Amino acid sequence: MRAVVARGYGGPEVLQVVDVAIPEPSVGEIRIKVQAATVNPVDVATRSGALVEAGLMAPREITGIGWDVAGEVDQLGPDVDGFTVGQKVIGLRDLLDVSLGAYADYVVLDAAAVAAAPTGLSPVEAATLPLNGLTAAQSLDLLDLSEDDTLLVTGATGAVGGFAVQLAAQQGVRVLVQGGDTDFLQSVGARWTLPRDADLAAETRRRVPGGAHAALDTSGAGIRALAAVRNRGRFVTVVGGPDPKPLRGITVHHEWIHADGNTLARLAGQKLTARVADILPLHAAAEAHTRLATGRFSGRLVLTP
């Protein structure tokens, strides 16, 4: 089969399409025939060596790339229940130091990281859900918001931010967003939209006296987003780098995604809008990484075998 790997670390040119043996599922694993794999910022960080420099993974000569997958169950390993061959599924490979990732014709995942695919989305759309949807859902779990609470989401036009807006709004949370696509953000549940260059603290407090109950920072706004949170509120960031220091009794968390098939199944059962910027063939992975670095689009780039 074909797979995209990084030979060493560097720019998109280190990505190569190689021929490798089709992997075999072991106990508790599922082999998936890949129909779509999303290109995410963590893939770029893996390829570039940024995660090695940060001490999050050991150096490797060859590294598999890709976390998100949508496809069909091709083979079940021993002791796997609840899935059938041919079933449409989505899944997440949340391991950094592996030789094969989701950029491939086939991928083997732990069954606990897989869920039935959402019926209302195409495989390309569904492939954007695992990493980004789980990051949003797990961040909201940390924030533990109640109906009518207020939440500020930065980077709301991105994949994680967009899913967070939808999930929070469906819980009855009143959402403020910072992002450029006002029509889309309002259509998926945002109550208030703030300009990209807004003074987050001032503009949030103008709409919500005292500040937001919580903030989810997906853009790296950091202390600017923290300043918009009321005393003893909650703050979660999904962006790498140093976290803002807790101030005014605000609880600060850094969310690191982990695979969770049960939560993924719950997300697959909800009505969510997935945004796809473009679809590229598997052999164009390097081009996709080059385009991702520009940030000049909304939604995710998706590879198809």
The CATH number that applies at residue 108 is: 3.90.180.10
| Enclosing domain of residue 166 | 132-254
- Indicate if 9 and 80 belong to the same structural domain: yes
Of the candidates 41, 134, 135, 36, which has an alpha carbon nearest to the alpha carbon of residue 89?
36
Q: Which tokens go with 135?
A: 């990051």
Q: State percent of the chain over pLDDT 90.
A: 80
- Indicate if 7 and 122 belong to the same structural domain: yes
Write out the DSSP string of 180-229. S-HHHHHHTT-SEEE-TT--HHHHHHHHSTT-EEEEEESSS-THHHHTTE
Determine the average pLDDT of the residues in 227-245: 88
Give domain status of residue 260, yes or no: no
Per-residue pLDDT at 19 exceeds 90: yes
pLDDT tens for residues 263-278? 999 999 999 999 999 9
Give domain status of residue 269, yes or no: no
Q: Characterize 220-230 residue by residue with b for buried, 16 or more Cβ atoms within 10 angstroms of its Cβ, and e for exposed.
A: ebbebbbbbbb
Give domain status of residue 263, yes or no: no
CATH of the domain at 181: 3.40.50.720
DSSP element (H, E) containing 169: helix 159-170
Give domain status of residue 204, yes or no: yes
Give domain status of residue 40, yes or no: yes
The model's pTM is: 0.94
- Indicate if 196 and 92 belong to the same structural domain: no
Per-residue pLDDT at 204 exceeds 80: yes
The total domain count for the chain is: 2
Per-residue pLDDT at 255 exceeds 90: no
pLDDT tens for residues 44-97? 999 999 988 888 888 999 999 999 999 999 999 999 999 999 999 999 998 777
Give domain status of residue 85, yes or no: yes
d(CA 203, CA 236): 19
Q: What is the pLDDT of residue 88?
A: 99
Give domain status of residue 217, yes or no: yes
